[in-house]
């Protein structure tokens, strides 16, 4: 009777990872070959991998400083969006009349591309950092909220039944049943929200930052230093990738019970 | 445990009355279903159900799929509201779910994100307020021991077998201290061996504890219904209604093997078969009448 159901491990760095690495190597090779053999009027516009890599190493201190500055915007904005989006989503998804009241507004407000708020946020807020945090917050809030509310309003009847039998009150039901039952949805919203946060962060920085990842790319584009600019793009990609991977790791740890 | 003493006051095994099995005649009524009808939207599910359940009684509700037996259980639990009639538990009209009526579902009584110990701990938190976490965990382990699950408290529901999950679900309901246990085909998804084991465990728990609980046990299995119940409520279909109530003489049920060999069992089984035959006949006739009318238009 004692049977252990060991879940099949997802192939993370197995064949799949190997193929992925192979593809990246192929891309790099193509890049190298095209830069060596295609004559360009302005070779500076399309730097070779080696040149770009040198530019990356040279500007690493500047990029790290920019990362720090970007994260001072991204982390507070995203964190606030996750907390408020999931809490409000659980409440709205659970309380019938609130859902009816808030849903029409959400349907109108959620699809507005958050980038359109950037100029107004910059005009409205005292500093660039606060306005950028606000924009990141708005951008990440909606996906988190929409996913959470959808999950909370569709909590399986069986959980509701069990909560009733255990005598849970409304608050206890939300905290101990709706919240864990909705966690898979919250994480989906968080993934979309994080990707959007990076987009909004870099776009906002193009507008008015003194520092940061988006600013770095913008700055060297203005000075036509394309090796550094391409290095900045690659570096931003790597940072985004690791942020998403970190979120995925967290998701796997928290959602261990989801089969 | 907020248990309820057997009203007969006698040893459970000594209850010799053939009328209501393990309990004496003077037992008070804990659950009373009064002319209850139930429908999903406009589809009638249950019609005019009238049922009195005495304290400490083990009631089997038997019926084929679609007869509304699960609906009856959900009504008793307060998870559904009757369209007509009312259900009274301990003098109060049932208006919603309550820990005093614990439910064991077929396969989803536990929260998958909590380990078995924490699943029980939640129930203990409700039945015995103000206990420290460590004390609750200790009691949870005791209940897990009681249902034959020693030392698996840290496992999560997905890590254990269906049989173990149902054991834990029973333990949770016991830990909740519900005087009334409602069970919706609790062993329906189990293999035959585990099924027998859990039937025995449940009976053993019901016989041996001093705070005997009232059990309503829903099943579609005739043998299970007769073996488990003091009384078997036989439901007919379309809409669900009580066709008959059979009392199983307790004396016959000392031993599984003897019981299934006994004359009493075979007579009751035949009676149930006859009831269902009649029910099917009735429905076929009803269907042909409808068809006839349709053809004439």
> At A100, which CATH number?
1.10.3720.10
Structure token digits, residue B121: 């701990």
**B241: CB partners within 8 A, 6+ apart:** B46, B47, B48, B49, B235
Q: Cα–Cα distance between A236 and B189 in angstroms, integer?
A: 52
Beta strands in B55-123 (DSSP E): 58-62, 84-89, 92-93, 101-104
Residue from the list B97, B98, B194 with its beta carbon closest to the beta carbon of A1: B194
Is the CB of B108 less than 8 angstroms away from the CB of A180?
A: no
Among chain A residues, CA nearest to B118: A176
**ipTM over the 0.85 cut-off:** no
Is the CB of residue B226 less than 8 Å from the CB of residue B244?
no
Q: Which of residues 58-97 of B touch A (CB under 8 A)?
A: 77-79, 96-97
Give domain status of residue A11, yes or no: no
Mean pLDDT for all residues in chain B: 81
Q: Cα–Cα distance between B237 and B220 in angstroms, integer?
A: 12
Give domain status of residue A40, yes or no: no
- State the pLDDT at residue B252: 56
Q: Is the per-residue pLDDT at A11 higher than 70?
A: no
Beta strands in chain A (DSSP E): none
Q: Cα–Cα distance between A235 and A228 in angstroms, integer?
A: 10
- Share of residues in chain A with pLDDT > 90 (%): 74
Q: Helices A15-37 and A49-58, interaxial angle, to 10°? A: 110
Q: Cα–Cα distance between A150 and A144 in angstroms, integer?
A: 10
Is the CB of A3 less than 8 angstroms away from the CB of B98?
A: no
Residue from the list B97, B152, B157 with its beta carbon closest to the beta carbon of A164: B97
Give domain status of residue A20, yes or no: no
Q: Is the per-residue pLDDT at B3 higher than 60?
A: no
State the distance between the two ends of chain B, measured CA to CA, in whole angstroms: 65
Q: Calculate how close chain A gets to B262, using CA atoms only, in Å.
A: 31
CATH class of segment(s) B12-100+178-296: alpha beta
Q: Cα–Cα distance between A28 and A45 in angstroms, integer?
A: 17
Among chain A residues, CA nearest to B162: A1
State the distance between the two ends of chain A, measured CA to CA, in whole angstroms: 21
Global pTM reads: 0.82
Which of A180, A10, A120 is closest to B118 using CA atoms? A180
In angstroms, the Cα distances linking B11 to A86, B1, B20, B215 are 55, 19, 15, 18
CB environment B54-82: b (16+ within 10 A), e (fewer):
bbbbbbbbbbeeebbbbbbbbbbbbbbeb
Q: Cα–Cα distance between A152 and A183 in angstroms, integer?
A: 9
Query: Which helix (H) or strand (E) segment is A225 a member of?
Result: none
Is the CB of B97 less than 8 angstroms away from the CB of A4?
A: no
Strand partners, B244: B234
Higher pLDDT, A142 or B267: A142
- State the pLDDT at residue A106: 93
- State the pLDDT at residue A116: 92
Is the CB of residue B220 less than 8 Å from the CB of residue B141?
no
Q: Calculate how close chain B gets to A152, using CA atoms only, in Å.
A: 16
Using an 8 Å CB-CB cutoff, list residues of chain A that contact chain B: 1-5, 7, 158-159, 161-162, 164-167, 176-177, 180-181, 183, 256-259
Q: Is the per-residue pLDDT at B295 higher than 60?
A: no
- State the pLDDT at residue B107: 78
Among the residue ranges A249-258, B50-59, B197-206, B243-252, the one predicted with the least confidence is B243-252
- State the pLDDT at residue B208: 65
For chain B, domain boundaries: 12-100+178-296, 110-177
- State the pLDDT at residue A155: 93
Is the CB of A165 less than 8 angstroms away from the CB of B77?
A: yes
How confident is the model over B210-241, as pLDDT tens digits?
667 889 999 998 888 888 888 999 888 878 88
Q: Cα–Cα distance between A160 and A168 in angstroms, integer?
A: 9
- State the pLDDT at residue A151: 95
Q: Is the per-residue pLDDT at A140 higher than 60?
A: yes
Domain span including residue A84: 47-254
How confident is the model over A54-66, as pLDDT tens digits?
999 999 999 999 9
Q: What is the DSSP string of B49-61?
A: EEEEEETT-EEEE
Which of A180, B265, B64, A241 is closest to A233 using CA atoms? A241
For the residues B118-133, what does the mean pLDDT come to? 89
Maximum Cα–Cα distance across chain B: 74
Cα atoms in the Cβ-side hemisphere of radius 13 Å centred on A234: 18
How confident is the model over A146-177, as pLDDT tens digits?
999 999 999 999 999 999 999 999 999 999 99
- State the pLDDT at residue B190: 83
Q: Is the per-residue pLDDT at A85 higher than 90?
A: yes
Residue from the list B78, B113, B176 with its beta carbon closest to the beta carbon of A180: B113
| Residue A73 pLDDT grade (very low, low, confident, very high; cuts 50, 70, 90) | very high
* Structural domain count of chain A: 1
The conformation of residue B14, written as its DSSP 8-state character, comes to: G
Is the CB of A1 less than 8 angstroms away from the CB of B112?
A: no
Q: How many residues does chain B have?
A: 297
Among chain B residues, CA nearest to A183: B113
Is the CB of residue B139 less than 8 Å from the CB of residue B124?
yes
């Amino acid at each position: 009777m004692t049977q252990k159901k060991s879940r099949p491990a997802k192939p993370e760095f197995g064949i799949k990872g190997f193929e992925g690495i192979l593809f990246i190597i192929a891309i790099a090779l193509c890049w190298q070959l095209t830069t060596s053999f295609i004559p360009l009027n302005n070779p500076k516009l399309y730097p070779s991998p080696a040149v770009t890599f040198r530019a990356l190493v040279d500007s690493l201190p500047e990029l790290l400083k920019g990362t720090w500055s970007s994260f001072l915007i991204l982390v507070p904005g995203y964190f606030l969006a996750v907390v408020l989006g999931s809490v409000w989503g659980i409440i709205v998804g659970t309380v019938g009349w609130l859902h009816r009241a808030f849903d029409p507004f959400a349907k109108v407000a959620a699809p507005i591309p958050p980038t359109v708020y950037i100029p107004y946020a910059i005009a409205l807020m005292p500093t660039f950092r606060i306005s950028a945090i606000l924009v990141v917050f708005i951008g990440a809030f909606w996906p988190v909220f929409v996913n959470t509310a959808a999950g909370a309003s569709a909590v399986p009847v069986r959980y509701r039944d069990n909560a009733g039998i255990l005598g849970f009150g409304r608050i206890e039901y939300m905290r101990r049943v709706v919240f864990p039952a909705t966690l898979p949805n919250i994480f989906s919203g968080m993934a979309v929200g994080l990707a959007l946060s990076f987009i909004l962060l870099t776009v906002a920085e193009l507008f008015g930052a003194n520092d940061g990842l988006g600013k770095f790319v913008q700055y060297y584009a203005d000075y036509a230093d394309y090796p550094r600019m391409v290095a900045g793009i690659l570096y931003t990609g790597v940072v985004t990738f690791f942020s998403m991977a970190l979120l995925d790791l967290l998701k796997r740890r928290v959602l261990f019970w989801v089969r | 445990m907020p248990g309820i003493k057997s009203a007969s006051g006698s040893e459970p095994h000594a209850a010799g009355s053939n009328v209501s099995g393990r309990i004496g005649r003077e037992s008070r009524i804990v659950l009373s279903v009064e002319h209850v009808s139930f429908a999903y939207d406009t589809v009638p599910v249950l019609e005019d159900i009238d049922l009195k359940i005495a304290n400490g009684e083990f009631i089997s509700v038997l019926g084929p799929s679609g007869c509304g037996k699960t609906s009856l259980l959900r009504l008793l639990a307060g998870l559904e509201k009757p369209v007509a009639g009312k259900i009274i538990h301990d003098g109060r009209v049932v208006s919603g779910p309550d820990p005093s009526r614990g439910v064991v579902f077929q396969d989803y009584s536990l929260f998958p994100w909590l380990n078995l110990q924490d699943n029980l701990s939640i129930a203990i938190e409700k039945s015995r307020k103000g206990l420290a976490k460590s004390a609750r965990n200790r009691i949870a382990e005791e209940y897990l021991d009681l249902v034959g699950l020693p030392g698996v408290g840290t496992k999560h529901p997905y890590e254990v077998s269906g049989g173990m999950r149902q054991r834990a679900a029973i333990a949770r309901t016991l830990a909740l201290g519900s005087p009334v246990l409602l069970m919706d085909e609790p062993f329906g998804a189990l293999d035959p061996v585990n099924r027998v084991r859990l039937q025995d465990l449940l009976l053993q728990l019901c016989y041996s504890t001093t705070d005997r609980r009232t059990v309503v046990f829903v099943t579609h299995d005739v043998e299970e219904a007769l073996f488990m119940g003091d009384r078997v409520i036989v439901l007919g279909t379309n809409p669900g209604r009580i066709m008959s109530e059979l009392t199983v003489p307790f004396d016959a049920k000392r031993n599984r093997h003897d019981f299934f060999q006994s004359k009493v069992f075979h007579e009751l089984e035949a009676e149930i078969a006859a009831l269902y035959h009649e029910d099917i006949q009735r429905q076929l006739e009803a269907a042909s009448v409808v068809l006839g009318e349709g053809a004439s238009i």
